[in-house]
Structure 1
Amino acid sequence: YVIGLGLDQALRHAVPTMTEAQRPEMVTRYRHHFLQQDGAIPLFNGARETITELHEAGYQLAVATGKTHAGLTRAMASSDMTHYFHSTRTADRTFSKPNPAMLLELMEELDVSPERTLMIGDTTHDLQMAHNAKVDVVAVGHGAHSEEQLRALKPLTLVEDFVELKAWFKANA
Structure 2
Amino acid sequence: MHALKKNRPLRRVTLAAAGTVTGVVLLLSLKPHTPPAVAQASSPSGQSQSQSQSSGSSPGGSSGGSSGGTKSTGTRTVTGDTVQTRWGPVQVRVTVRNGVITEVTAVACPQENPKDREINSYAIPQLRREALAAQSAQIDSVSGATYTSDGYRQSLQSALDSAGL
TM-score (ref. length: structure 2): 0.23
Q: Which has the higher strand share?
A: 2
Bigger helix fraction = 1
Q: Which structure's CA Rg is the greater one? A: 2
